[in-house]
Structure 1
Amino acid sequence: MNVIEAHVRRSVERDGATCGEVEVHTDDPQCENVLAYFSNSGDNEFDLVSIVRNDADFLTDWFDNSMHTAFEEISMQWFENRNTKTDWGRRETFKLQVLESGQVREYLHRLLG
């Protein structure tokens, strides 16, 4: 799966940490639209905290409702290898594709300062 486009939506709290919410469009037909959450890391970079599938149809469900059943945590299943362990290489590749898309990295620096 490759990132086609990504843009920062807003700052949100996830598990007690301030995160940047990034809307990501991919070439994966099963998960074309996902939300990726990034937090600051100690090395002036960002950690990929989680990925959420976003199946909401914004024509009929136009309000941003995080309690909606269309939002499903998929971080583990997306990057799981045959041994049911995290494929850190694939996860890091996805993270870098998102951060390098447009001005995502710059916006996250401003947002999370």
Structure 2
Amino acid sequence: MGAIQDAKFVQLAERGDVKYADIEVRLSGHETPLLASFAWNGGDPQLASVYRKEASRELDWYDNSLHSAYVDLTAELFDNGRGELGIGSRDDFAAEVLSHPNVRRELGELGRS
């Protein structure tokens, strides 16, 4: 596949009673980063959602409801099974994100703590 240029762990967040590992993903040939959110409780992370990150420091330094800083692309990207933007299937994309050295190291450290 090879569409992922870079991936980095952003945060571990709790939404409801589920922990999510949020990972920023930069695709080759695309300027706008994606945010891949994986449901994760120390075991195998499961891809929950993929968002296009449209946050702007000029607009989003406070809670700005004038626009959507994160647009959910999950259905658009994976419902046909092919994957858009050259990222392959949902499983292929998730595996490539999780195998990125930066992500694997960060999640490994979180799993030990």
TM-score range normalised by the length of the shorter chain = 0.7 to 0.9
Q: Percent identity?
A: 25
TM-score (norm 1): 0.73
Distance in 2 (CA, whole Å) between partners of 1:100 and 1:66 is 34
- Report the number of matched residues: 106
User: Unaligned stretches of 5+ in structure 2?
Assistant: none
Aligned twin of 2:23: 22
Cα displacement (A) at 1:50 = 1.0
Distance in 2 (CA, whole Å) between partners of 1:107 and 1:65 is 28
Aligned twin of 2:38: 38
Distance in 2 (CA, whole Å) between partners of 1:20 and 1:4 is 19
Query: Is the aligned partner of 1:51 residue 2:50?
Result: yes
Structural RMSD (CA):
3.0
Distance in 1 (CA, whole Å) between partners of 2:41 and 2:18 is 11
Relative contact order (C-alpha < 8 Å, sep 6+): which is higher?
Answer: 1
Aligned twin of 2:78: 79
Distance in 2 (CA, whole Å) between partners of 1:15 and 1:27 is 33
Spell out structure 1 runs of 4+ moving beyond 6 A: none
Amino acid at match of 1:32: T
Q: 1:54 to 1:27 in 2, by over 3 A?
A: same
Q: The residue matched to 1:69 in structure 2 has which SS?
A: coil
Q: 1:41 to 1:12 in 2, by over 3 A?
A: closer
TM-score (norm 2): 0.73
Distance in 2 (CA, whole Å) between partners of 1:4 and 1:103 is 12
Distance in 2 (CA, whole Å) between partners of 1:36 and 1:64 is 23
Amino acid at match of 2:54: D
Amino acid at match of 1:23: E
Q: 1:34 to 1:73 in 2, by over 3 A?
A: same
Q: Give CA-to-partner distance per residue, 1:47-71, whole Å, 9 cap, x none.
A: 111111101234x246486965121
Distance in 2 (CA, whole Å) between partners of 1:17 and 1:100 is 22
Please show how residues 92-103 of structure 1 align to structure 2 within 5 Å. 92-103=91-102
